[in-house]
């Protein structure tokens, strides 16, 4: 009796599992997930707007989002022009950083000799605040595009180098033995295993490097330029056009997110094997 009863029960349950779909909770649905980041941003601006109005904060201290958007629209030509300049210097500096970062990363990661001799100097160099270098760059190259490109390069070069080097240097010793016992040359080990293995590290570093490259070029523009978002912000705040300064900040943020998304898309395409279906955890760079 008992046996029979439980048999029936389990059959019914199997069928139920097969046919009855459970309702998905609201927060798990795809379109809700997509909308959430926008919702958070909208809510943030809303609270900001309400706070500014309630406490009657003067515009030159903290402008309301509505004022910022208005200023952004009013000055759209200037903002676009300067944002383009910043985007250009950042991308050029970043591209140079990728080339040199990967080359240096391979050299540092694949040779303990290079690692031991260059690493301390590189760390020392990386700890120098890049803003301190800008005046020197101005002496050498004058104000404008070149110092901004170089600052963007200098600041984003190191994370790429370190990550590529780590990816190559952490090759499993057994795998190295397998390859050496096949008679693989050092170049073959790097090309077949080292570089592909370093790709997830490389793309993780791109996301960081991309955002710090913006910091580099904007810092340089703030100190020594007559064009660019940094310059625009400097001019705006010196004229107490605080909403405009904030609008410029906002545009920088949007550009940063845009580049981050592009780097992330590349990462998913190139190194899907390292993610295995689990959404990668984004790194939030500090700068």
Partner 1 sequence: MQPKFVEVDRVWLRYGHDNGTLALRSTTLAVERGEFIAVVGPSGCGKSSLMKVVTGLCPVTAGTVKVEGKAVTAPLTCVGMAFQNPTLLPWRSTLANVMLPLEIVRPHSSRLRRNRAAYEAKTRELLALVGLEGFERSFPWQLSGGMQQRTQLCRALIHEPSLLMLDEPFGALDMFTREDLWVSLQDLWMARRPTVILVTHDLREAAFLADRVLVMSARPGRILAERKIDLPRPRTHEMIFSAESAAIVHELRGHIGASRVAA
**Residues contributing to the site for partner 1 (CB under 8 A):** 172, 174-175, 177-184, 188, 192-193, 196-197, 199, 271, 273-274, 276
Nearer to partner 1 by C-beta: 10 or 188?
Answer: 188
3-state secondary structure of 192: helix
**CB count in 10 Å sphere of residue 27:** 8
Contact yes or no for 166/175 (Cβ under 8 A): no
How far apart are CB 185 and partner 1 at their closest, in Å? Answer: 8
Nearer to partner 1 by C-beta: 175 or 254?
Answer: 175
How far apart are CB 117 and partner 1 at their closest, in Å? Answer: 22
CA 46 to chain centroid, in Å, comes to 26
Nearer to partner 1 by C-beta: 24 or 188?
Answer: 188
**CB count in 10 Å sphere of residue 41:** 10
What span, in angstroms and rounded, lies between the C-alpha atoms of 125 and 219?
Answer: 18
How far apart are CB 16 and partner 1 at their closest, in Å? Answer: 31
> Residue 96 half-sphere exposure, CB side, CA atoms within 13 Å?
15
Q: Which residues contact 137 (CB under 8 A, 6 or more apart)?
A: 146, 147, 150, 151, 220, 224
How far apart are CB 200 and partner 1 at their closest, in Å? Answer: 9
Phi, psi of 5 (to 5 degrees): -55, -45
How far apart are CB 5 and partner 1 at their closest, in Å? Answer: 35
Nearer to partner 1 by C-beta: 179 or 242?
Answer: 179
Name the nearest CA neighbour of 50 among 61, 37, 35, 62: 62
Nearer to partner 1 by C-beta: 34 or 276?
Answer: 276
How far apart are CB 166 and partner 1 at their closest, in Å? Answer: 17
* CA distances (Å), origin 271, targets 11, 96, 112, 209: 44, 22, 27, 18
Nearer to partner 1 by C-beta: 93 or 194?
Answer: 194
């Amino acid at each position: 009796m008992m046996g029979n009863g439980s048999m029936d029960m389990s059959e019914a349950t199997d069928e139920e599992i097969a046919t009855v779909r459970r309702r998905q909770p609201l927060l798990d649905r795809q379109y809700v997930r997509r909308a959430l980041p926008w919702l958070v941003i909208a809510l943030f601006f809303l609270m900001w707007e309400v706070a500014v109005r309630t406490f009657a904060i003067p515009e030159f201290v903290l402008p309301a989002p509505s004022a910022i958007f208005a200023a952004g629209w009013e000055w759209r030509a200037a903002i676009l022009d300067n944002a383009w300049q910043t985007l250009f210097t950042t991308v050029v500096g970043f591209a140079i950083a990728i080339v040199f970062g990967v080359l240096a990363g391979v050299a540092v990661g694949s040779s303990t000799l290079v690692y031991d001799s260059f690493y301390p100097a590189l760390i020392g160099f990386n700890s120098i605040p890049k803003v301190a270098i800008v005046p020197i760059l101005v002496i050498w190259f004058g104000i404008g595009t070149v110092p901004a490109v170089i600052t963007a390069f200098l600041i984003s070069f190191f994370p790429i180098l370190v990550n590529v080097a780590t990816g190559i240097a952490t090759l499993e010793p057994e795998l190295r033995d397998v390859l050496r016992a096949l008679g693989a040359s050092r170049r073959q080990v790097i090309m077949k295993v080292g570089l592909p293995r370093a790709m997830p590290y490389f793309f993780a570093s791109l996301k960081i490097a991309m955002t710090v490259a913006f910091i580099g070029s904007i810092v340089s523009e703030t100190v020594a330029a007559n064009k660019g978002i940094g310059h625009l912000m400097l001019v705006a705040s010196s004229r107490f056009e605080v909403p405009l300064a904030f609008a410029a900040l906002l545009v920088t943020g949007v550009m940063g997110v845009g580049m981050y998304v592009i780097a992330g898309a590349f990462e998913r395409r190139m190194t899907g094997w390292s993610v295995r279906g689990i959404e990668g955890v984004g790194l939030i760079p500090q700068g």
